Amino acid sequence: MMPLPTAADLVPILPEIVLCGSAFGLLLADLFVDSRRRGLIHFLALLALLATVMLIGRGMGAEPVSAFGAMFIRDTMADVLKIAMCGVTGLALVYARRYLEDRGLMAGEFYAIVLFALVGMMVMVSAGHMVTLYLGLEMLALSSYGLVAMDRDSKVSSEAAMKYFVLGALASGLLLYGMSMIYGATGSLVLSEIYQAAASSQDRSLLLFGMVFVLVGVAFKFGAAPFHMWVPDVYQGAPTAITLFIGSVPKIAAFGFTFRLLESGLGPTSDQWSHLVAWLALLSLIIGNLLALAQTNLKRMLAYSTVSHVGFLFMALSNASPVGYSAAMFYAISYAIMAAASFGAIILMSRRGYEADQISDYRGLWQQSPFPATLILLVMSSLAGLPPFLGFWAKMEAIRAALDGGFAWLAIAGVITAVVGAFYYLRVIKVMFFDEPENDHMVVHGDRALRFVFAANAISLLVLGVFANLIMAWTRAAFA
C-alpha cells in the first residue's frame, strides 16, 4: 500500500505545481484582460516558463529523489529534459503569437492549454509508476487534440483533430493493454519493482507479450513507421503555430517516456526490445525519407521527414546503454530546436490569408529577400545533416551509438537514407536560390520580434553545431 504523501513530497514536484497553477491563473486572468491587451497573457506565460526553469535549475545536479511512494522521480535526466522542453515551448509561444493574432485565433486558453500540455510532459519524464506515466501521457494527448482543433472554422483542422483523436485513442488502448500484461507478469506498477521482477523472472512470456504492445504505443506517440499514419495529416491540417509546438516539444517528452518504460521498467529485457526498436528505426528511415521525396507541400514534407528523424532517434535507442540513451537525448533536443526553426520559417513567410506551405511558394526568395533565404538555408542544411550544423552531430551520435551497440547494418542504412533525405531539403534550397520568382507573394512578415526570434533560432543551429560538445557533455552527465 502506498504511504500517505507528506510535505516533503511537494518539494521535488514544485516546478510542476507552479506551472500547473500558472496555467489556471492564465485562464482566470483571461477573463479580466481586454482582447486588445492579449500581450499581457503572452508575457505572463513566458514568465511562468522562466520561473519553472529557475526552480528546476535550483535543484539540478542533486541526488535523485522520489516522491509519492516512488510515483514521481526527480533526477538529472528529468531536469535536463524539462529545461529543454520549457525552452522550446517558450520559442513556440513567441512564434505563435503573431501568427494566431493575424488569423483571429489568439485566445487566453491557447496559453493555458500549452502549459497544461507541458505539465503532462514534465510528469511523463519524471514518472516512476505506470499510472504516472499514463496520466502525463493523456494530459499531453488531450491538450494536443484541443490545440489541433483550435481553428473551429477550418474543416481541414477539424478533420486533422478527429483523426488524431481516434488514432491516439487506439494507441492509448494498446499501451494500456501492454501495461496490464506487464502488471500481470510482475504484480506491480512501480517501474523499479517491475525491473526487479523482470530480472529475477524465469518465464518472461507474458512480460514480453506486454512489452510488444507497449512498444507499439510508444512508436505511435513518436510517429515512427509503420505507426506514422496520423503525422502528415495532423501536421498539414493544424495551424502552423500549433504544428510547430506538437512537432517539437513532445519529441523530447517521448524520449523521457520511452526511457522510463524500457530502461527503468523493462531494462532486463533489453536484448529483446533493442532489436524491435532497431527494426522500427529502419522502417522509419526508409518510409519517412521515400515518402518525403514525393511531397510538394512543405508541411507535409516536414511531417514525413519527422518520421525519418524518429528513425535516427530509435537508432540511438537500440543501443540499450548510457551511450545510446545520451545520444538519443541529444538527438531529441537537437531535433526539437530544428523542427521549431523549420516550421518557424513557414510562419515567417505567411500572413493573413496566405499560407507559405507549398515548396513552390519559395521560388526566387533569394532575389526578393536575401537574408531570410539565407536563414532558411541554415535550417534546411541542419535538417539534412550537413556539417558543421547541429543536425550533423546529432546524426553522427546516433550512428556511433548504433555501431557501439552492434547494429552495423542499421548504421549503414542510416548513412544511405541520410543521403537520400538530403535531396528533398536541398530541393527547397534550390527553389529559393536558383528558380525565378513567379509572383510577389513572398513577403517576409513585418513583426520584428518574429524576425529576431527566427534569426536567432536559425543561427543557433550553426552555433550549437560548432559547440556541440557542450550539449553532448550535458546529456552524457544525465546518464553518468
In SS3 terms, the chain reads as CCCCCCHHHHCCCHHHHHHHHHHHHHHHHHHHCCHHHHHHHHHHHHHHHHHHHHHHHHCCCCCCEEECCCCEEECHHHHHHHHHHHHHHHHHHHHHHHHHHHCCCCCHHHHHHHHHHHHHHHHHHCECEHHHHHHHHHHHHHHHHHHHCCCCCCHHHHHHHHHHHHHHHHHHHHHHHHHHHHHHHHCCCEHHHHHHHHHHCCCCHHHHHHHHHHHHHHHHHHCCCCCCCCHHHHHHHCCHHHHHHHCCHHHHHHHHHHHHHHHHHCHHHHHHHHHHHHHHHHHHHHHHHHHHHCCCEHHHHHHHHHHHHHHHHHHHHCCCCHHHHHHHHHHHHHHHHHHHHHHHHHHHHCECCECCCEHHHHCCHHHHCHHHHHHHHHHHHHHHCCCCCHHHHHHHHHHHHHHHCCCHHHHHHHHHHHHHHHHHHHHHHHHHHHCCCCCCCCCCCCCHHHHHHHHHHHHHHHHHHHCHHHHHHHHHHCCC
Q: Is residue 5 part of a domain?
A: no
319-340 per-position pLDDT tens digit:
989 999 999 999 999 999 999 9
pLDDT value, residue 67: 82
Share of the chain above pLDDT 70, in %: 96
pLDDT value, residue 414: 94
pLDDT value, residue 448: 84
270-310 per-position pLDDT tens digit:
888 999 999 999 999 999 999 999 999 999 999 999 999 99
Q: Is residue 143 part of a domain?
A: yes
Selection from 6-10, 61-65, 202-206 with the highest mean pLDDT: 202-206
Cα Rg of the chain, angstroms:
22
Which region among 82-96, 174-188, 309-323, 435-449 has the lowest average model confidence (pLDDT)? 435-449
Q: Please state the rounded mean pLDDT for residues 254-262.
A: 91
Q: Is residue 208 part of a domain?
A: yes
Which of 127, 270, 277, 128 is CA-nearest to residue 208? 270
Angle in degrees, CA 328, 384, 255, rounded to 5: 20
Residues in contact with 289: Cβ distance below 8 Å, sequence separation at least 6, in sequence order: 304, 305, 308, 417, 420, 421, 424
Q: Is residue 15 part of a domain?
A: yes
Residue, of 47 and 361, whose pLDDT is higher: 47
| Beta carbons of 402 and 315 less than 8 angstroms apart | yes
The position carrying cell 514480453 is 208
Confidence of residue 98 (pLDDT cuts 50, 70, 90): confident
Separation between Cα atoms, residue 107 and residue 406, nearest integer Å = 51
Q: Is residue 4 part of a domain?
A: no
pLDDT value, residue 5: 65
pLDDT for 457 beyond 90: yes
pLDDT for 221 beyond 90: no
Q: Is residue 184 part of a domain?
A: yes
Report the first-to-last Cα separation within the chain, whole angstroms: 32
Confidence of residue 440 (pLDDT cuts 50, 70, 90): low
Q: What residues pair up with 74 in beta bridges, in sequence order?
A: 65
Which of 432, 430, 426, 338 is CA-nearest to residue 382? 338
pLDDT for 1 beyond 60: no
Which of 135, 24, 3, 153 is CA-nearest to residue 66? 3
Q: Please state the rounded mean pLDDT for residues 353-361.
A: 83
pLDDT value, residue 446: 67
> In whole angstroms, how far apart are CA 364 and each of 40, 367, 381?
38, 6, 18
pLDDT value, residue 428: 92
Q: Supply the mean pLDDT for the chain.
A: 89
Residues in the chain: 480
> In whole angstroms, how far apart are CA 65 and each of 69, 320, 341, 433?
11, 24, 35, 53
Confidence of residue 316 (pLDDT cuts 50, 70, 90): very high
Confidence of residue 442 (pLDDT cuts 50, 70, 90): low
pLDDT value, residue 444: 76
| Beta carbons of 111 and 15 less than 8 angstroms apart | no
pLDDT for 354 beyond 90: no
Structural domain harbouring 80 = 11-477
Q: Is residue 2 part of a domain?
A: no
The position carrying cell 512498444 is 215
Query: How many independent structural domains does the chain possess?
Result: 1
pLDDT value, residue 441: 58
Maximum distance among all alpha carbons in the chain? 70
pLDDT value, residue 114: 94
> In whole angstroms, how far apart are CA 36 and each of 23, 32, 41, 93, 101?
20, 12, 11, 18, 10
Separation between Cα atoms, residue 379 and residue 31, nearest integer Å = 39
| Beta carbons of 479 and 316 less than 8 angstroms apart | no
Q: Is residue 6 part of a domain?
A: no
pLDDT value, residue 3: 58
pLDDT value, residue 475: 86
pLDDT value, residue 2: 55
Confidence of residue 439 (pLDDT cuts 50, 70, 90): low
